Amino acid sequence: MFNMMKLAVFTGAAILAGQVCAQAAFSPPPESSIPAGPKGIAIQEGRKLLTETHQRLPNNVGNGLNCTSCHLAGGTTPNASPWVGIWGIFPEYRSRSGKLISLQERVNDCFERSMNGKPLPIASTEMNNILAYMQWLSTDVPTGMSVKGRGFGPLDQKLVADAGKGKDVYASKCASCHGAEGAGIKNPAGGYFFPPVWGMDSFNDGAGMARTYTAAAFVKHNMPLGQGGTLTDQEALDVAEYFTHQPRPIYPGKAGDWPKGGKPKDARS
């Protein structure tokens, strides 16, 4: 009887673990599924705001980036922090905030950090349009379930970064698009063909991308553009260590991050 009880407990735990770890397939909805009417218009407008953020929200963006500078292809690229499936995950506990936050708060986190700007009013038309687009991208993803490819993908966290070697990787693999001084390549019509990765027109030091291991995971799976996965984990980590520690805007609120402890080793101080 004792062994049968242990087996039942073990089986129940395994099933529960399977529920926790289960992930939905990464399957963005087809363009044809955007509905007609006000909801469809909101979805289309939300996509424009996220892909042309600097142009369309100049009062909220303090640098030269768009949301899709990091969330590639309109948030539909796995391992590039996609928005597919994000709708049903929030509210979500964030250790950086030390509390449960809404999707609106998460969006505004990006405006204040990655965009070095100002938050959108929670109930604004612009925020609702952004949410409508993210909700549409999450079509058919079960509520509460992450999709495969959420975030930036795996990277060996035991590796030690070498900024000197990273400078060489940057020169050979990154500078042709992002510029020798990290200033990006500007579009004469406005904005950038390729975004700046340091300097005053880039993300500030409170952004997730300013953390070495976070940036390295993004680089590993997505860079050079169209050649994701061609760098080793060590190369990605080295180049991330190099460019994340170049001069960039200062986020004044970062002293309040991780109020309950657990500050990551690569968080900026």
Residues 132 and 167 in one domain: no
In a domain, 222, yes or no: yes
Tell me if 59 is assigned to some domain.
yes
Q: Which of 137, 152, 176 is the last residue of a domain?
A: 137
> Do 168 and 246 lie in a common domain?
yes
The 3-state secondary structure of 160-209, one letter per residue? CCCHHHHHHHHHHHHHHHHCCCCCCEECCCCCEEECCCCCCCCCCCCCHH
In sequence order, the 6+-apart residues with CB closer than 8 A to the CB of 99 are 93
pLDDT at 18: 38
pLDDT tens by residue, 256-269: 999 999 999 999 88
> What's the rounded Cα separation, in Å, for the pair 8 and 23?
25
- The candidate with the shortest Cα–Cα distance to 133, out of 222, 50, 216, is 50
Residue 201 lies in a domain: yes
Each residue of 129-154: pLDDT tens digit? Answer: 999 999 999 999 999 999 999 999 99
Is 75 domain-assigned?
yes
77 and 117 share a domain?
yes
- Residue 20 placed within a domain: no
Q: Are residues 193 and 239 in the same domain?
A: yes
Per-residue confidence band for 12, with pLDDT thresholds at 50, 70 and 90: very low
5 in a domain, yes or no?
Answer: no
Cα 258 to Cα 31, 157, 212, 251, 261: the distances in Å are 39, 20, 17, 15, 5
What pLDDT is stored for residue 7 in this prediction? Answer: 33
pLDDT above 90 covers a percentage of the chain that reads: 90
pLDDT tier, 178 (very low <50, low <70, confident <90, very high otherwise): very high
Same domain, 187 and 128: no
Domain boundary among 137, 172, 206: 137
**Domain closes at, from 137, 155, 190:** 137
Q: Residue 236's domain is classified under what CATH number?
A: 1.10.760.10
pLDDT confidence of 189, banded at 50, 70, 90?
confident
Give the Cα separation of 194 and 268 in Å (integer).
25
In a domain, 154, yes or no: no
Average pLDDT, the chain: 92
Q: Report the number of distinct structural domains present in the chain.
A: 2
Q: Is the pLDDT of residue 9 over 60?
A: no
Domain that holds residue 251: 163-256
Does 50 map to a domain? yes
pLDDT band at residue 21 using 50, 70 and 90 as cut-offs: low
Residue 81: the pLDDT is 97
Residue 103 pLDDT > 80: yes
Residues 125 and 192 in one domain: no
